[in-house]
Structure 1
Amino acid sequence: MSLAVSAPVARPHATAPVEAERADVLALRRLTPAQLLVTLWLRRWVLLLAFGLPVAAGLALALTRQPVFEAETSMLIQVTRESVGAADLSGLGPTVQTVEQLRVVRSEMEIATSRPVARRAVERLGPATIAPGLANPRPWQQAMTPEEQIEAATTMLGRALRADTEPSTNILRLRYRATDPARATLVLEAVLEAYLRQRSETGHEGGAQLLTSDLARQREELRGIEREIQDAQARFGVMELGQDIALANARLNTLMERENTLREQRAATAAQLASAQERLAVEPERVFAGSEATNLAPNDEARNTLARLLQERRHIATHYAPGAPELRELDQRIANVRQTLERNERTAFATRREIRNPNRDALEARVIASRIELDSLTRQLEEVRVQRGEAEARATTLRGADAVLRDLFRRRDGLDGITRSLATREAGVRLEESARRGGAAAVQLVQPPTAPFEGRSGALLFAAAGLVAGFTLAGAGLVLLTLLRATPATPGEAVVNLRLPVLASFARPDEEAPLAELAGLLLDQIGARPVLHLTGEGDDQRGLLARALAGELAQRRGRTVLLLDLQTDGAAHLRALGGTPEAVERVEGHVLAFPTAHERLWVAYESQHSQLTDPRASEAEATRMLALLKREFDVILVVGADGSGYAARRLAGLMDANLLVVRGEVTTLRAARARRDEILAAGGALPGLAFTGRRQVLPGPLAALGP
């Protein structure tokens, strides 16, 4: 059938309400814990990667960073009247002004950290001690001359050397950091020595000649012992004597155990070989396999011939009288065959069969395998004996090296203690003499350069920083992904972002329970003969939902329903519902509907060309069309087309109710808001939305916390 209607309606508004738009923006920016939880689960791998990269970087830095040892030395600056120019007014002792005292300590600190002092220390130790990388530059670095190496090492030492004082004391502290505690102590000792020499050169030079000569002699002896230790280590080929001895003993024990094991294996293999050879010698070449005895000659057909003749005689006997020539001839032939059978029964045939002894094959294979294994074990035993001899020789060499190096180490430790003591005494005496002769501030060594037993690598700090960075990056990513997520995943998110209630949510468009609720709401609240407009954007399953809702209203509610699809031509609905479009003459602008397998359910065909969607048709024509359809059908379900325009807005205003269809994780919020604002701007009724594609986004334990 075809219908055409029109009636005047109110014109739709041209713009959306500004307040609603502002509310939508605020709703978009207002994050809830439930939204964050859904985003966390949907984007868990991305967030886990964002969390894991900083944590892995922090752990890598924590594991690879070398510990730093800070060597420290302390000096007491004794300030006199001569050093500050203050008079002794009381005559009882030196008086020193506090401000001048601080200036003197500050001056000593500037001297200790000056470039000449650093250069003296570098010249004493060598640039390689301060900066090991200068001697062996990288391939992309230019080689430096010795003078350039000294200048670079001096600059690096000046940057690494730290000096500080406390306002209430006369203590001057020098600090130096290095990855090796011995190197940190050695560098700080060189700086202290250069500082004291620099001070002595500023005033009158002299004093402590005896201690200086003794210190030089002790140092030369110490260097000689160091050279002897290095020569002995090179001669014996050892790096760490205790570790080398332990490794040599462990290797010797392993080789002895291996040799014993090989001997046992060789003895067992030899015994197996001898046993196999003995068994092979007594085994015969061939063995009895079976025998047969018979009295039947080969190709003997006598019995078959006798049976055939007897059968033939019985047959002939039924046709001829006794004594007939034919019977006598057959009797003679039967007698001859029986004589032949008697002769064959007296003749017997016997057969005996022998085969090669299978035990000999197995024993021969065992002998060959045992010989191969015996040769292999013999060669292994010879190689192990050679290695054992080498290990015993190495152990003997290490025992000799232990005796020599132990004596050299004792001598070095003794000379080192004497040298340190002389160095401390020489420095103190030189300072005292210098202060006494020059009237300058005296420097007394309070703490010699020492480094802590354990260094500080900052591993925990890097690990904690990586953990904090991981949480920060993951949290920022979670917030950003939640703000940028364009599609709602749950009905609750659709409610929050669209500010519309969910009238029904469907896991599948044909789900019975929500279909029944939606049908009841349509019939109870919209009114008699309602026209429902299902609108949306893209693949939101509104066509499938409209078809399922039409079936619910027609089959279970007994209403005459028209399914009018403006998104497609309706052919798919007809095929699914058992209907077929017929070749009829179509009136331009009218709605063409065909019945389906259910007598109360009709489907419109090619409704896109009707007056409902034609922008050239007037509002009155569209209204008359709807009025005519209402008279024919109890319920009209209109599936809205994609896109927007004047015809779509006009149609939304003419509907009794508009139902916004949102599909989870498919329909974008921007498209849904645009469709909602278009309906509201047209003055259409929008009671809520239908959510399709519902699924359990969060797992079971977290589902209760979701939106």
Structure 2
Amino acid sequence: MIAATYARTQYTAESLILMMVDREHAGLQDVGGSLPSVLSIDGLKSVDSEIRILESRKVIEDTLQVVDPTVLFPELGRPRLFGLLRSDDAQDRLEKAIDLFKRHLRVEQQSASNIVRLSFSHENPDVAADTVNAIADAYLKRRRAIFDIPRSPFLASELARHSDQLKSIEEQILRLKSEYEIVDLGQEILLAANQVDSIVQRRRQTQERQAALQAEVSTARKRLAALPERVFDFKEQSNQTHNDDDRNVLLRLELERDRLASQFLPDYPPLQEIEKKIKTVRQSMKGAEKPVFSTQREVRNPTIAFLNNHLLTLEIEQDAVARQLAELDRQHAIAVEKVGRLRKAETELHDLERTRGVLEGIYRDYAQRTEAARAEEEAAKVRTSNVRVVQPGVAPATGTSMGPSFIIAGLVGGILLGAAAGVLATWLRQVYILPHEIERDLGVPAIASFADTAGELASPGAQQELIHLAAQLLDHGVGERPMSLLQFVTANEGDGEAVVARGLALELAKGRGLRTLVIDLCGDGTGQLMAINASADPAAGDALAPSDALLAAELDAVPSTVPLLWVSKAAPDSALGSLRTPIAQSRQMLERLRQRFDMILILSPPIGSSHLARRLSPMADANILIARAEHTRAPVAARMRDSILASGGDIVGLVLTGRHFHIPQVIYRWL
């Protein structure tokens, strides 16, 4: 507002100047008649150079010699510090005048053209117009002094020198190619490298075959030395003699007897006769022992002849492979030597060609610049300037004031500053306010959020959130069975985990009719019982079965006044709450509890102060993380999540507690 109050009306005088470049430097098109057209990008660069000259200190000093600085800036001639100090001397006044002049001067290039817009702002329109014309005249005078330098003789001498160097490099390249017998260096190197690679591959194959032959020869000799000269063919031993048909006769007689016995009486004469024959044959078979005959045959070992022939073949092939390997070594040495010569030639030739490329570029540049300089020098004799003042400065009729702009800028700046402060505060915030921030940063779903856990979640909104939480947990199971063992994990004590566990236990017992057990590993359970209006009399709740009495005694489980709801009183001192208890024993204890109760809720100590939560996390069906809004820091919550996952536990989600709506709900959506 103060700047708007003291803002004064400024009048801006303008002048348009046309900048002509290259062959237009003399005001003529293509003076030599053989040079290509000028690229627009070169023209724009030249215009930018002219603008730098126009803004130079020397041009401003020449302008201030024409226009009195005290006329432009009256405050320079007044005493300083409200008249307490004398005015500046001439040199200081000039320096201040130059700085103020630069602030009021504007030199702008018009888009995609060679027109430069020169403007100067002042409170007096006539002074502004005179100043614009004065600076244009000073610029024209200054640039004539700058460009009045003949350049063609120097460029011609440099062109001749680079031409001699280029010819010398060409001769060196020809001598090098002739010395190394090179036609196409790239093709020669490729062929040599392929030849070396082919020889190396063949050497490897030959060496492999040589090693195999040596192994085969050694093995054949060992086998040959171990073989006997003669080998056993067969051995036969038998007591069977030729024309020995007793058994066959006996069999025929017995068959005939059986046939007659089935048709006639035992006193039938032919039947009795056959019996006599059978008896006679049997007595004959019981007679003297028959001699035993044996036959044994040995022949010359045929493997010896085979191995001798195979060994001879292997020795011949081994000698041939050795000769082949020697020849490959000779070829490899020749190919490697050729590759080395080509590499040396490539290095020398690359250096020469790189030098030639640089010299060709320099020579081409000098040739163009020499011709351009000659054309400019010849054309400069006809036209003395490449700058035209298209529009001289005139006194403007209207001015501009920055007062309204200052007012608008102040309002917009205040709004932007406030918004930036809010965005910065949100960006630097390391605590959670909204559930979706948890899902975005931790990758863990926020399954519930409670506005205030100082009470017992008795409000209708909290009860609906508990119903929603219980439904999510019961609708998802572990494999084919529902979840029955949940662990509440928190990073800090007092984040509302006890209140959430009690509320969930009441919903499961009263609303769902499930036998629920709350295991408080953070305390003795008295606080939980008092909060639930528990009774110390076990008869008030449902009774345990005799087989489970000992299990309940380990935790000192006490039934509350709420049916189906039990709370432990000695969990920290039990085997489940001791880190010395073997993991197998803890698993067995939890399995026995699963058989008695439908739902088991475990309140573990903060994960930063005890290892118990990480120990029990893989035994639980799911782990529920507890974070307190505006209190639990993001790194702490991330470390809690990583600790549970590293221990092998599964995380079903995170519950946000202690939410406070300090601002309207609509604004929270933008945070």
TM-score range, shorter chain: 0.3 to 0.5
Q: Which protein, 1 or 2, shows the higher relative CO under an 8 Å CA cutoff with sep ≥ 6?
A: 1
TM-score normalized by structure 2? Answer: 0.43
TM-score normalized by structure 1? Answer: 0.41
